[in-house]
Each structure stands twice: as structure tokens, then as C-alpha cells.
Structure 1
Amino acid sequence: MAVNVYSTNVTTENLSRHDMLSWVNDCLNAHFTKIEELCTGAAYCQYMDMLFPGSVPMKRVKFRTNLEHEYIQNFKILQASFKKMSVDKIIPIDKLVKGRFQDNFEFLQWFKKFFDANYDGKDYNALVARENNPMGMGSAASSKSALAGPTRRVIPAATSTPRVVPAAKPIAKAPTRPAATTGLRASNSTPPKKQDSIGNHHNATVTNQQMEELTNQVMDMRMNLEGLEKERDFYFAKLRDIEILCQDADDTEPQPIVQKILDILYATEDGFAPPDELTPPDQEEY
């Protein structure tokens, strides 16, 4: 039987979406390019086969697909394996198959903790276990071209910048130093302009790469922030409902347990102080 885990989208590891995606691709020899593509459900089916051999009918799993009804079929297979291994987790199939980032990221975070609690460290060849079927999003017929797509986009980006650097050296060596010292300063002004333009182009390329990396980091932090805010609002609404029920019960039939619940709700830690409310600026001053 499986070891059940209960966690929110905030785990002790605090892995980013890139780390989580790398974990999936490395473990399963898969080719997912973003978290949203885990909506196929195939990765979780194979993880269950890795953790509990025989719990999943692997031949029925659609490992590479882009059809929603096949996503649903994969998650139903996963749900059946959960029931077989006494896993208490309820799979939000309707949300996951829509391919939204937040829903799939939260489920992946839970599954990572579930995996860590149940994995015994034994060797597992994911590719052989699924009979060399490719895993990812897309049609099985176009697997080769789809899998080659991401790598071909990365390679030109990496080789384009080094080509600019060697080109700058011959231009810098073209004007001879003795000719520059004879007194014709005007002839020396032209080559540096070409070198500067190439150098500026190289600097601009580096800057664009850095900006792209920073933009990705900002997007990651924004996604994490949105997840935390969503979780905060979710639990605050639950606490508010409990508070209302306790207050209504206190007015009708006061019971000691109700007062204890209210005491817990209103208790604060030592040194805790609520944030000061922002006062609106004085509109009369200009």
C-alpha cells in the first residue's frame, strides 16, 4: 500500500517549475517543454508503475497525445491505480485536462512529495517500460519532428553570439599602427567606428539574453506569488466560514468547544503585529 501525503503547493523543497519539469523529463526520459503539458496524465501513470509495479496497465496509457479525451482516459487509469494502492488523493481531472499552469503545477508539487515518500530507490528504465514509446504532448506520428524542435531553437541562439567575436578581431588588425602615428588622424577614425558598432551589437545581444533570463525569473516569481495568494484566500475563506458558524452557535447555544475554536482563531504569536493600514494621501496638498 502507498504512503499517503498531504501538502499544499508550498513544499519544503521550493523547487521552481523548471526544476520540477527537469525532474519529470530526467526520471521518465520524457520530452515535456512546460508544466502545462503534464495535463496528458501519462507521466503520472508511469510514475505509479515505477513506484508500484503492476498497478497501471501500461499498454492502455497514451504516452504521446494532444487529445483531451485521451488525457481523461489517462487520468482515469491513474485514478484506478490510486484506488488500487489506497491513495487518498482526489484527482481534479476536470481542471488538469484544461492545461492551465497553476492547476497542473500544484498537482505536480503534491505528486513530487508523494513520490519521495514512496520511492524505494530501485532502478527503473522508463523507456523500456513503455516499449520505447515517446512521451510528451503531440501526436505519436509527429514525435520525431516535435522532439527535435526545442533543441534546434536553442543551438542557433548559442552559436550566433560567438561568431560575432572572431569577426571583430580582423577588423581591429586591419589598420596598421605605424600609419596611424604618421599624423593622419582622420584615417584612424573610420576603423574604430566599425569595431565599436560590432562591439555594440555584441553587447546588445548579451543584454537581450540577460533580459530574457531576468524576464523568466520574474515570471517564475509571479507564478509562485499568485499561487501563494490563491492559497491564502482559499484558507482565509474557510476560516471565515468557521468563524461565522461559531458566532452563530455562540448566540443560540453557547458551548465550550465553540469558545475554544474562537480562541484558536483569534490567537496570535508573540511579537506578531498586523500590518499598518495605508492612509490615503492628502488630496488638498499639491
Structure 2
Amino acid sequence: MAVNVYSTSVTSENLSRHDMLAWVNDSLHLNYTKIEQLCSGAAYCQFMDMLFPGCVHLRKVKFQAKLEHEFIHNFKVLQAAFKKMGVDKIIPVEKLVKGKFQDNFEFIQWFKKFFDANYDGKEYNPLLARQGQDVAPPPNPVPQRTSPTGPKNMQTSGRLSNVAPPCILRKNPPSARNGGHETDAQILELNQQLLDLKLTVDGLEKERDFYFSKLRDIELICQEHESENSPVISGIIGILYATEEGFAPPEDDEIEEHQQEDQDEY
């Protein structure tokens, strides 16, 4: 069983963000560049495998996680490992998966103390343990909204190459040099916002489909036991079928389509 750690007060043993990242990267052969990238939960799962071999099924860990519902999945795997090893720490999943620095830094500070209290120094090959899978650093889950700035280098232009620039804005560029630069900067900023919004929408759609499939599974289980006249089952069914004004439940063909998509994905 694990040795629990409760104190998270600031001491001389606390590492800086850079030292903490170096420890994570060196220990697991990763290439994280920000503390925020720990929001996927994958690194913590592998640390638990390092500390307590066999407490985590690494094949269940989504090392390529890029969306919030995938982060949540990894943290559920971590929670299961905590429970199995008797770790009392409550994981603030809802905060961590948002990818904010402070929340993730506080949690990795605690985890480092927990690791030091439980690590016995045995050798561990992280690449072999995860069967050579690359751990893709998750994208910044919060769209950036900054004031318009001019293009700094070709990397910025490459990142926006998949988004078609607004043709209307380019047809009649201002004759003044300063006005032209400002318009180009605005175009770049608008393209970036468009790309961020598209990524956000894609993520929300994935998350919606994920939770829809869970509700559908609950509905099927309830329908199987509906003949038992259980008040609990009846209450759950009542919640599932409750509607609000302006809301219409999906048709059967839409449900089947969602189920097929979920099967393809998972």
C-alpha cells in the first residue's frame, strides 16, 4: 500500500516549474514544455505504474489524449489506481483538465512529494512500459484571445495555413503602409480566433457524444430491469426522459448513428 502525503506547504524542497518539468521529462522520457501539459493525466498514470507495478493498466491510458473527455478518462484510470493502493488524495479532475497553470502546478508539487515518499529506487524503462507509445503534449485547451499583433515568423503563418484567409479583406488593401500592416495583423488574429473556435467546437462535440453514449448505456440497463418495478429504476428513467420547453429528444436513427460513432472511436 502507498505511503500517504498530506503536507503541501512551501518548503526548500519544492522545485521550480522548470525543475519540475525536467524531473517529469527525465523520469518518463517525455518532452513537455509547460506544466499545463500535465492536464492530460497520462504522466501521472505512468508514474503510478513506476511506483506500484501492476496497479495501472497502461493499455487503458490514452497517451495521445488531446481532448478534455480523454483527459477525464485518464484521470479516472488514475483514481482507480489511487483507490487500489489506498491513496487518500482527492484528485481535482475538473480543475486539472482545464489546463490552468496554478491548479496543475499545485497538484504536481503534491505528487512529487508523494513520489519521493514511495519510490524505492528500482529501475524503470518508461518507453518499454508504454510499449513505445509517444506521449503527445495536449494542446492548450483554452483558446487564446490576445490583442492583434503582426506576424513574428513563418511558424505563425504555417499554423494558419489550414484556414482560408478572408478574401474580402484582401481585395482592397489600404494604400497607406501602416494601414496595410494593421490589416494583415487583424487578418492573422481573426484566422487564429477562427481556428481556436473550430478546435473548441470539435472538442465540445466529442465531449457531448461521449456523455451521450454513457446516458444511452444507462438507459439500456434501466430498460432491461424496468419490469422489476424498482422505484430507483423508475426514478432514473424519469430523469432520462424528462424534457424542457424547446427541447426535443433525438430520434432513434440519431441514437444509432451516435452509437456507431462511439464504437468506431472507442
- TM-score between both structures, scaled by the size of structure 2: 0.51
1:116 is aligned to: 116
| Structure 1 segment 57-206 matched on structure 2, within 5 A | 57-138=57-138
Give SS of 1:24's match.
Answer: helix
Counterpart code for 2:21? L
What corresponds to 1:53 in structure 2?
Answer: 53
How far off its partner does 1:95 sit?
0.2
Q: Report the equivalent of 1:15.
A: 15
Separation in 1 of the partners of 2:136 and 2:90? 24
- Structure 1 residues 79, 39: closer, same or farther in 2, change over 3 A? same
SS of 1:64 mapped into structure 2: coil
Q: Determine the C-alpha separation between the residues in 2 that align with 1:83 and 1:133.
A: 26
Letter in 2 for 1:55: C
Measure the CA separation in 1 of the matches of 2:95 and 2:138: 20
Residues 132 and 14 of structure 1, relative CA distance in 2, 3 Å threshold: same
Structure 2 residue aligned with 1:250? none
**Distance (Å, rounded) in 2 between the aligned partners of 1:9 and 1:18:** 19
| 1:8 CA drift (Å) | 2.0
Superposed CA offset, 1:210-267 (max 9, x none): xxxxxxxxxxxxxxxxxxxxxxxxxxxxxxxxxxxxxxxxxxxxxxxxxxxxxxxxxx
Q: Please identify which structure carries the higher helix content.
A: 1
What does the per-residue CA deviation read over 1:8-32, in whole Å, with 9 as the maximum and x for residues that have no partner? 2524313110000000000000111
| Partners of 2:33 and 2:7 in 1: CA distance | 25
Deviations 1:140-170 (A, max 9, x none): xxxxxxxxxxxxx9xxxxxxxxxxxxxxxxx
For the 8 Å contact 1:9–1:109, the answer to whether it is kept is no
Q: Is the 8 A contact 2:29 2:126 kept in 1?
A: yes
CA change 1:138–1:90 in 2 (3 A) is closer
Name structure 2 gaps, 5 residues minimum.
140-154, 156-266
Tell me the equivalent position of 2:30.
30
Structure 1: give runs of 5+ residues left out of the alignment: 140-152, 154-286
Alpha-carbon distance in 1 for matches of 2:92, 2:62: 19
1:136, CA displacement in angstroms? Answer: 3.3
Tell me if the contact between 1:37 and 1:136 (Cα under 8 Å) persists in the aligned partners: no
CA distance in 1, matches of 2:44, 2:135: 11
How do 1:271-286 residues align onto structure 2 when only pairs under 5 Å count? Answer: none
Distance 1:33 1:24, change over 3 A: same
Q: CA RMSD in A?
A: 1.4
Does the 8 Å CA contact 1:39/1:71 hold for their aligned counterparts?
Answer: yes
Q: Which amino acid aligns with 2:102?
A: Q
How far apart, CA to CA, are the structure 1 residues paired with 2:100 and 2:138? 17
TM score, norm. by length of structure 1:
0.48
Aligned partners of 2:38 and 2:104 also within 8 Å? yes
Q: C-alpha separation between the residues in 2 aligned to 1:11 and 1:39?
A: 24
Q: Distance in 2 between matches of 1:69 and 1:12?
A: 36
Q: Which amino acid counterpart does residue 22 of structure 1 have in structure 2?
A: A
Query: Could you say what secondary structure the match of 2:115 adopts?
Result: helix
Contact 2:5 2:117 in 1 (8 A): yes
Q: Which residue of 1 aligns with 2:2?
A: 2
Q: Distance in 1 between matches of 2:49 and 2:79?
A: 13
Shift of 1:115: 0.2
| Identical pairs, percent | 71
Could you tell me how far apart the structure 1 residues matched to 2:106 and 2:138 are? 23
8 Å CA contact retained: 2:14, 2:109: no
2:68 alignment partner AA: E
Contact 1:2 1:85 (C-alpha < 8 Å) held by counterparts: yes
Work out whether residues 63 and 136 of structure 1, in 8 Å CA contact, stay in contact via their aligned partners in 2: yes
Amino acid at match of 2:122: K
- The one-letter code matched in structure 2 to 1:26 is D
CA distance in 2, matches of 1:6, 1:97: 22
